[in-house]
Amino acid sequence: MSLIKVSAIAVLIVTLTTGCDDFGNLNVDPNNPSVVKTELLLTSAQRSMSDVIGAFTGVLYVQYLAETQYTEDSQYQSTTFDFNAWYTGPLQDLQTIIDLNTNDETRSDALSGGSNNNQLAVARILRVYFFQMMTDRWGMIPYTAALQGNANLSPAYDTQEAIYLDMINELKEAVSQMDGGPGVRGDILFSGDMQQWARFANSLRMRVAIRLSDAAPTVAAAEFSNAYNAGMITEDVMYPYLAEASNENPWYNRFRTRTDYAISDVMTDALIPLQDYRITKYANPAANLDDGDGTTTFAEIVGMPYGAENAGDIPNAAISFPGSAIGAGGPGVGEQDANLPIITLAELHFSLAEAVERGWVTGSAQQFYNDGIEASWRQWDVYDDANLSSYMAQAEVVYSTAQWREKIGFQKWIALFPLGYEAWAEWRRLGEPNLDPHPFALNNSGLIPVRHAYPTTEAQLNESNYDSAISSQGPDTGDTRLWWDVN
C-alpha cells in the first residue's frame, strides 16, 4: 500500500476517534479515551529512532560487520528499499502532534503533552531527524507535499537541496519556538528538558550543515558556525533500551537465537595493528582463542573475511562476534538493555576539526581531532591515559592538516560504529576511508551503493512524480550519486 493511502487511512482513524461527540458522555468510554494523547505519539515516534540507529544495511555497506552465512546483503543484492513505513509511522505521529497543537479546536486538549510551542518544537526537530536519514538514503523524496492525507494522494518529490535548506530552517525555528512552559511529556530521550532539546537541535544542524560542505559551502559554513555557537550537546545522546522484549536492543534481538553477523576483518585489520582498544568493545573473543578470563584482548579477536566467497564454511568458533557493548555477542551473551548512540561528542568534535580546516570556526583542528578520539574512547569505556597517549603518538594517527580529509574520515568511521546509516553518509561525503566493494557483488555495477532505489509502489501509484524525480536526479539505481555527494 502506498504511503499516501496509508497516511490517509491514519488520518481517517484519528478523525473517527476524535469526532464522535454527538451523544455527550453517554458515548464516552473512560478506558478508551477519544482524544489522542500527544505524549503517546511522541513516545511512539521516538521509539522508531531505534530503527535508524539499529539498522544493519548501512553497517554492512561501511564494512563494520560481515555476514557469516547468508551474504546477499553484503553483496548488495537488494536494490529497492521501502520508505512507506517512515511516513505512516513516526512521521505521521509527529505530524499529528503538530496538527493537534496548531488546531484551535484541539490545542487545549493537547496541553497534557506539554506546552503547545514546546510540543511543536520537539515534533519539528524529530521530523528533521527522520527526514535527513531518508533523503540521505533515497535522495529526492516527498517532503513538502507529504503527510497531507486526502488533500494530496500523489505528492511531488522535493529536490535534496530544497529539503536540506528547509531542514536547517526547521531546526532554527524549532529552537526559537520553545517557550518557558511545561516541557514535553512522553519524552524518553531528555525527560522533557527543553534545554537539552535545544542543544540536540543545534547538534543536528551541525550534522546537516557538514553534509553540505562541498555542495553548498557558503550555507554550510554559516549554519554550522551558528549552530555551534548556539550550544551543542554536552554528553552523548543515547537511546535508552530496556531489559524487556518490548523495547530491547535490536542487536540483542538479532543474536537471540542466531549468529548472522561477525566483526569484519576490515575493522580488525584497521584497529588491531594500531592497538586501538575500541575493538575490544566492538568485538568479543573468538571462541577458539578465548582464555575465559572475562576480558577481551587483541590476540583473542579474529575478523570475519568481508569478501568471503563461502562464508558458511568458516566455523563460528574461529571468528569474533560483535561485542556485548552494542547488545550483541551471540545467544545468551549480549545485553538486552545496552544503549546505542544517536549522536555523540566524538562525531561532533571530528566535524569541528573539519570546520576549522574549512575556515568555518576558529580553534585548533588538531585539538578537536584529538578530543574526538578521546571522546570516542571514553564513550566505549576504554579510556586509559597511557594507552591513549601511545595510540595518539603513532604516525597513522597523528593529525596532519595536509591530510585532514583522510585523517578525520578514518577516525570518524571508527567512532561512528555502529551507526551504519550515518557512517555510510559520511563515507560517501568524505570518500574516506578507502573501502573495496565486495568481490562477489550481486548488483550490476559491482560497486558499493551510494543510494537506495525507490520502492516499486512509487512507480505504480505515484508515477508522474516518480518519473519527474528520476528525470531530475538520475536513474533509480544504487549508483546515482546524491546532490551533496560530489567526491
Q: Which segments of the chain belong to CATH 1.25.40.390? A: 3-19+36-74+82-240+341-473
Q: What is the CATH number of domain 3-19+36-74+82-240+341-473?
A: 1.25.40.390
> Of 16-20, 63-67, 283-287, 457-461, where does mean pLDDT reach its minimum?
16-20
Q: What is this structure's pTM?
A: 0.92
Query: 84 and 9 in contact (C-beta within 8 Å)?
Result: no
What is the tens place of the pLDDT at every residue in 46-75? 999 999 999 999 999 999 999 999 999 999
Number of Cβ atoms within 10 Å of the Cβ of 258:
12
Number of Cβ atoms within 10 Å of the Cβ of 26:
6
What is the tens place of the pLDDT at every residue in 65-101? 999 999 999 999 999 999 999 999 999 999 999 999 9
**Which pLDDT belongs to residue 16?**
32
What is the tens place of the pLDDT at every residue in 342-375? 999 999 999 999 999 999 999 999 999 999 999 9
What is the tens place of the pLDDT at every residue in 103-131? 999 999 999 999 999 999 999 999 999 99
**Which pLDDT belongs to residue 153?**
78
